[in-house]
Structure 1
Amino acid sequence: MAQEAGPATAEEPGVETRTAEPRGRARPAVPDGRGFPSAVARSGRVGGLDGLRTVAVALVLTYHVTPDLLPGGSVAVDLFFTLSGFVITRLLLAEYARSGGIALLPFYRRRWLRLVPALLALCAVCAILSTTTSLWGFDGSLRAAGLSALFLVNVVRAMEPGPYGDLMGPLAHTWSLGVEEQFYLLWPLVLLVLLRFARARAVLLWTAALCALPLLWRCALWNPDAAHRIYNGTDTRADQLLAGALVAVVLARLRADDPRLAVLRTWAGRLAWPALGALALVAWLMPVTADAGLLTAAWYTVGFLVVAVLSATLVAALELRPGGRMSRLLSLTPLVWVGRNLSYGIYLWHYPVVRLLASLGMTDGLLPATALLSVLMALLSYYAVEAPFLRRARRPVPGRV
């Protein structure tokens, strides 16, 4: 999902590149971080956020295996969206504070190296199983693999009438990667324009205003026949990513000694556990993708933004209160390691694994079997595919240091 960092794993902070300075010339001091005095200081990894990814991917896996147990488990994807928006925006702001610009091509290159090789490996396996076996869970995977590799699954699903069909087969879950990648394509461009032509305070206000637009758009679009369009559209889910971006902008704007930061830290700590409890209730009780009448209408319009606010509260609390109980719990070494290195692979592989085991007739013990096999495939993906490409992503781009 995602990580990242949707399900798509967030970009490593050590990956960003800096524009080379002429030799013999000292880098000029940057006053006030170009309006974002804390951007560089807040560009490192946060253990609690990595641990939160582990919890989120576990929820998604459980939801896809036993939806009756967690009818709203797909809310974890919404959480992934907010996490991704936060981390990506934080890195972009740090680069801007250091260099006065954002190198878009290196950014897109790093995103490609982080996400695409593992996805292509998954698509290849699904396509091979589709053409060489009679497993029903992989029927039509060749076409789905092509759409998934192009990050277009969400577009196809958005146009489906009636109940979801099996058009995307074992790759249906990659719709969320499509949303994230389309956001990654557009948001750095928008942010760069804002940074160049608006003051830092106006950048914050514009980001907040952009968060409201998807809500208004969903309200204009809503009718029961538009559910797929709203659920899968990047334009209709952008507020969940932008909520994370807004947190990153706010925190980058505030100095460490700013009294407003102390207020944010206090309230984030007070609201973090209620926010987590509310998300847990949604996962446990809310049939997110089912037709529940007025509740579904509320969910597909206002509900997405409510979840974004709850998720942003968690992100802010984990960022601002690393010594808090929630942060300490989510920063346990196994949770952090899995979230940092395996959450993307687990998200990629868990749904094909569910369909594989179901195609083989497994019913008893399906959840633990899926979890175990998904972790094994994620380990293989990480060490054989992702890690080598991550090392390439960390190499300086020619002409940069």
Structure 2
Amino acid sequence: MPLPGSERVNTEKSGSILGFNGLRGLSVVLVYLNHKCGLQFYSGSVGVWIFFILSGFLIIGELNRQRGKVGTAASRPAAEIVTFWVKRATRIFPAYYALLAILFLTRSYFQHAGPDLGFRYHVVYLSNYWIGSVIGGTAGPFGVLWTLSVEQQFYVIAPFLFILLPLERHFAICMSVVVLGVISHFLMYSSGFNHTAIHTLSPWNFSLIAFGGALTILHLQRREWAPNGNGTFVCLLIVGVMLCSNGVIYDAPSYLSPAIDIAIGLCLVALIWWVRANQDSIFVQALEWKPLEHLGKISYGFYLVHNFIPNPLGKALTLYGGMSVPDSVKITAGAAIGFVISYGVAHVSWKYFESPILHSRRGLTKFFLQYLPENPSQGVPRTELK
């Protein structure tokens, strides 16, 4: 029996998968509550891990399709790698580097985060190394950038693994990354790494991306394996909540921490697989609620800016207005106002900056592909982005 992914490639487009934007929307809400309201309950990790799994599902699925073109001689590996990088660059780079430029120009405002704000690391997507190894602790508002580094590091390596290697090896590649990440996660805990280093540098983060990739391959070939039924969804949700509670509220022993991390990650993997396999469910339809779906669509911009927007009810009112605002009001009302501001900035960025740039993908792809050497022996046409 052929391995998953060896017979056909995914013809679905990510935009047609119901519930995924809703999951992104919920994820940025969890991250926001963690950063702005001090919500624990694994909220920050859960939000980030959902993003990793979704990225793996969609991006490795895309690479799987691109390898299918190469395997049928419809395209060349070099053309597909260039196509992938142009697509990722036009989605990720503009908003990211525009934000870095603004932060660099206003860096004096963020000196409370420390004398070294790590710009030389952020520019080359090594924020996770800067936070976990160089400073080894809190990075103020710049702490949000580490997750983007993890994903970008994955994007650099993934095309070579999945476009150059045959389809029948893709599932094995994903599961190898998962296993190595799990082992490394346990080793980091047992070796005494601090929480920040584990959180930002653990290969477990790459395991979650690879798990997402394994899901998309399994969904293509073994759909009958997918979890089905609303009861399954509720059970997965209950187990996930219980694991989060055990890890935070009951202060589980440190030797159980890696196991709890992995168990929560597995619940999230199963939940995302369930959403993909149960597109007609009432729960998936709820994730398609328009405001939540739109928040998911602009979630990249929201995630980028939210931690750099100060609490509007913080020190400014006391310093300049002579007003004393209770801490409870600062946290709740201030966070609510900050959320609206973040949402507005992300919406404007998406509509007038990010989205127009995405429309340039086809032209940019043609521009870069024209410099690839021809391969007369194959005569394969160059690929364009769809």
User: Does the alignment reach a TM-score above 0.5?
Assistant: yes
Residue 291 of structure 2: aligned partner? 334
Measure the CA separation in 2 of the matches of 1:136 and 1:42.
Answer: 43
Residue 65 of structure 1: aligned partner? 36
Residue 274 of structure 1: aligned partner? 235
Matched, 1:307 2:277: no
Contact residue 11 and residue 65 of structure 2 kept, 8 A: yes
Contact residue 22 and residue 288 of structure 2 kept, 8 A: yes
Contact residue 56 and residue 210 of structure 2 kept, 8 A: yes
1:125 to 92, 96, 102: 102
Q: How big is each residue's C-alpha offset from its partner over 1:361-384, in whole Å with a ceiling of 9 and x where there is no partner?
A: 575212101111111111222123
Contact residue 354 and residue 370 of structure 1 kept, 8 A: yes
Measure the CA separation in 2 of the matches of 1:276 and 1:265.
Answer: 13
Instruction: Specify the SS of the correspondent of 1:47.
Output: coil
Contact residue 33 and residue 39 of structure 1 kept, 8 A: no
Measure the CA separation in 1 of the matches of 2:91 and 2:244.
Answer: 29
Measure the CA separation in 2 of the matches of 1:388 and 1:178.
Answer: 24
Residue 20 of structure 1: aligned partner? none
Residue 23 of structure 1: aligned partner? none
Matched, 1:178 2:178: no
Show the 5 A alignment for 1:1-400: 35-41=6-12, 45-67=16-38, 69-74=39-44, 75-100=46-71, 102=77, 103-131=80-108, 133=109, 140=115, 143-160=117-134, 164-165=137-138, 168-195=139-166, 200=168, 202-223=169-190, 224-233=192-201, 235-252=203-220, 254=221, 260-266=222-228, 270-281=231-242, 286-287=247-248, 292=251, 294=253, 296-299=254-257, 301-340=258-297, 342-354=298-310, 358=314, 360=316, 363=327, 364=329, 365-395=333-363, 397-398=365-366, 399=370, 400=383
Contact residue 311 and residue 335 of structure 2 kept, 8 A: no
Q: 1:210 to 1:104 in 2, by over 3 A?
A: same
Measure the CA separation in 2 of the matches of 1:72 and 1:204.
Answer: 29
Residue 378 of structure 2: aligned partner? none
- Using the TM superposition, give the Cα deviation of residue 82 of structure 1 relative to its aligned residue in structure 2, in angstroms: 0.8
- Using the TM superposition, give the Cα deviation of residue 233 of structure 1 relative to its aligned residue in structure 2, in angstroms: 1.4
Measure the CA separation in 2 of the matches of 1:34 and 1:90.
Answer: 10
Q: 1:314 to 1:343 in 2, by over 3 A?
A: same
Measure the CA separation in 2 of the matches of 1:389 and 1:335.
Answer: 24
Please give the root-mean-square deviation of Cα atoms over the aligned residues, in Å.
Answer: 3.0
Q: 1:357 to 1:80 in 2, by over 3 A?
A: farther
Structure 2 unaligned segments of length 5 or more: list them.
318-324, 371-382
After TM superposition, the score normalised by the length of structure 2 is: 0.80
Identity, % of aligned pairs?
20
- Using the TM superposition, give the Cα deviation of residue 305 of structure 1 relative to its aligned residue in structure 2, in angstroms: 2.6
Q: 1:99 to 1:384 in 2, by over 3 A?
A: same
Measure the CA separation in 2 of the matches of 1:234 and 1:386.
Answer: 31
Q: 1:36 to 1:298 in 2, by over 3 A?
A: farther
Measure the CA separation in 2 of the matches of 1:283 and 1:366.
Answer: 26
Q: 1:85 to 1:330 in 2, by over 3 A?
A: same
- Using the TM superposition, give the Cα deviation of residue 356 of structure 1 relative to its aligned residue in structure 2, in angstroms: 7.1
- Partner amino acid for 2:160? L
Contact residue 240 and residue 304 of structure 1 kept, 8 A: no
- Using the TM superposition, give the Cα deviation of residue 107 of structure 1 relative to its aligned residue in structure 2, in angstroms: 1.1
Measure the CA separation in 2 of the matches of 1:239 and 1:47.
Answer: 24
Measure the CA separation in 1 of the matches of 2:308 and 2:314.
Answer: 10
- Most deviating of 207-216 and 32-41: 32-41
